[in-house]
Each structure stands twice: as C-alpha cells, then as structure tokens.
A = this chain, B = another copy of it.
Amino acid sequence: MTASIITIGDEILVGQTVDTNSAFIARQLHAIGIKIREIISISDTEKHIKEAVDKAIQLDQFIFVTGGLGPTNDDITKKVLTNYFDDELVMYPEILSRIESFFAQFKKPFLEVNKLQALLPKNARIIENHEGTASGMWFKKNGVNVLSMPGVPYEMEGIMNQFIEIAQEEYGVGNFYHNTRLIAGIGESQLADILKDWENENRNKGITVSYLPSIGTLKLRLTGLLDQKDWIDSQLNILNELYPKFVVGSEFDTLETVIGEHLVMQNKTLGTVESCTGGALAKKIVALPGASAFFEGAIVTYSNKLKTKLVDVPAAIIAEFGAVSENVVRIMAENGKEKLDTDYTISISGVAGPSGGTVDKPVGMVWVAIACPDKTYTKCFNFGKNRARNIESTSIAALNFLRLILIGHYEDVTDTDRI
C-alpha cells in the first residue's frame, strides 16, 4: 500500500512558499503504516494536475492533493478533479450555513465568492474544514482514494486528522516498525564512526539505519519489520546506556521537553538573559505547552546600555572585556538569576553576524553561561557566518549545555559539531 502527495501551486515552484504540508501528511501516514512513494509539486494548470493524478493513480492506493481550493480565480483544483472523476458540483446547504456562521463568528463580511466554497462534487465524500471555508473532498475510483485538501497548513491538518481516523478504521495499520533516538553534541560522521560495528550488525539483520541531521541535533532511526520491534528497541536502549551524554531522548522529545522534565521533577525554575539570540532561546522554551511549570521569563539585553541597566553589568567591564566575553556572560547569568528569581539562568552573548566580527571575536563566536544553584558554568562556542543559523545553533547548544549539567555530564560539553 503506497501513497503519493501532489502539491499544487506556483507559489511553491517559484519558491515563495516552503512546502511544510507534505511533511505533516507524510508523518501522519507513516504512523499508520502507509508508505509515501513520492511527493511532487506542480503548477496549478489543468494539464499538470491531470498528468500527476494520472500517473499516481496507476501506482498508489492513496493520493493526497493540497492547494488550489481558495476562493480566488487562480484556484482550479476543485473544477479539475470534479471533471476528472466525472462528477458534478452541487450546492451543499449544510456546508453553506457552516461557512456563513464561520464568517459571522469572526465578524467578516460574507461575500458572493465565499458562497462558491459550498459548491462541491456530488459523489465525493466531503470532509469538513473547521478552520476555514474550503472543504476536503475524498474521491474514490477503482480502489484508489484521492483526498483533495486546502493548502493552508492548519486547515489541511484538521482535514488530514479526520482522514486518518477514518482510514485507520477502514484500512487498519501497516506492518513495519521504526524507533528513533534524538542525539546532541556529536556530528553525523563522528557518531557513525563510533557506531560502525553496531550499525553493521543492524544492517545485517535487514534493519535500515538512518541519520537525520538538523542544526545542533540529529535523529538516528532504525526501521524494520513489526516482528523486529523488540530487537530495534533493545538496540536503541544500548545507545542510551553507552552514550547518555549524546542521547537526548526518543522520537518526539526535544531538548526543551527533556530539560522541562528534569526541572519539573526537581521543582526548579529557569530563565534566560539573551543578547545576540534576541529572545530566540526563550521563544523556543515557551513554544512548549506547559512551559509555565518551570519557565519564569527572560531579559533580552540586546544593547550594551540594557546590559548595564537591566542586569547591572558594569559599563567598565564591557569596555575592558567586550560585550562578547566570559566576564560579561557570567555577570549576565548570575545577576539575571537574581532579577528573574530562578534556580537556573542561561545567558548568551555573541557575534551573530553578518558583520561586527573581529580577528579575536569572529562572527559566530558566542559565550554562554549557566548560573546554577551552586555554581556558574561558562563555555565559548564557535559557529559559522550565517546569522539565522548562529542564532539557532546557539539556542540549541545552550540547551544541550544545560541538559548535560542537569544529568551530571557538564564536563562533556563540547562545541556543537558543525561538520
């Protein structure tokens, strides 16, 4: 049983939109054992849509189409698919009244063009969109299922979730198994080197070993058959035992969730004092629902003036050592801990770039300090030349620094591998 995803819209082909929908759909299908054969992005012309559906319908049992269902004239997916499946558009009164009340709820004018969103194919199964006006349309033909959804991510997600529920009931789940470990503090090639024998042993058993790197962390995934579940789990547990400093958690963990669990368990609180990251670290922590159980807040001292005014870094210290220095981050963390009234406070000061670097303090150099209940740790990291990447790398490295302190491995803090 395979599936394919067809995303429709020039905005993806000209690069104005990043296709995040496909990853969401793929994750949902993967979880119920439906394998994606291919993801394809095409322009919103009748010819391309027909060609893509024609091809997929030969190879897959499920085809997911996103985009082109908006109220404007450049949206043609509904018309093309309705024709393709020899269906006809009819008015669905219950959908119309739902759309009307949707507009009323948000006090928006209800326009003639919005009414057209209730014109839907007569023989398709309609999946309601609780977040917008374009309904999901589930066409079936010769055992192949084609689900057309709007391209707006949160609208698509709501429809996809309903589809998954129905599909699980009607089609059951798949027959393979995978499990994952989240890794931090070591790069892909170094990890592959220390795991060489372990990896070969798994490959010899027919297990797929995948390294999935992202900034500052990577995921190591084993995939096999359902009856290899125990083996796969035990192989990953071996890593937990051998390399606790590298293994952060499992598939759905992040550095934030793991740190949160540690702090909540110890009934401790956290805050940040940030310069070059401008609040990115605090934002990452607050993105976690329930962060209020351990996170108090942050002070973003982006200017030197505020480093002095808000966390009492003496101007003379900044003048002598520079804003990007061990002395300054140490004071930021320790005074920040008082001001924020927390048990742990992470402070950050660095040269995010693209300009502002010197020979001694190049772009990408970042000092991080962590004031703990009994001690303050400091560490200098060196990242690259890209501003956005430096901000993200710094946030991740600071979180992993804190994690290592919390699990008693602070001596193992290394520069985040960027190779």
Which residues of A are in contact with B by a Cβ distance under 8 Å?
10-20, 22-30, 35-43, 48, 70-74, 102-103, 106-109, 111, 113-114, 131-133, 152, 154, 178, 187-190, 192-193, 199, 203, 208-214, 219, 221, 272, 274, 276-283, 285-287, 289, 291-292, 295-303, 305-306, 309-310, 339-341, 352-355, 382, 384, 386-389, 391, 415, 417-419
Contact = CB atoms under 8 A, between A and B. Distances in A.
B19 A23 contact: yes
Contacts of A297: 299-303, 306, 310
A159 to B, nearest CB: 14
Contacts of A289: 353-355, 387
A102 to B, nearest CB: 7
14 contacts: A12-B26, A12-B39, A13-B38, A14-B36, A14-B178, A19-B23, A113-B192, A278-B291, A278-B298, A289-B354, A289-B387, A298-B299, A305-B341, A309-B341
A306 B340 contact: yes
Given A15-B25, A15-B28, A297-B310, 6 more contacts: A15-B30, A38-B48, A70-B213, A108-B190, A292-B302, A297-B301
Contacts of A192: 71-73, 113
A19 B22 CA distance: 9
Nearest to A304: B292
Give the oligomeric copy count.
2
A96 to B, nearest CB: 15
A280 B278 contact: no
Contacts of A48: 38
A310 B305 contact: no
A185 to B, nearest CB: 13
B15 A23 contact: yes
A164 B53 CA distance: 33
A388 B288 CA distance: 9
A209 B74 CA distance: 7
A210 B111 contact: no
B211 A70 contact: yes
A15 B25 CA distance: 7
A13 B16 CA distance: 22
B14 A189 contact: no
Contacts of A353: 289
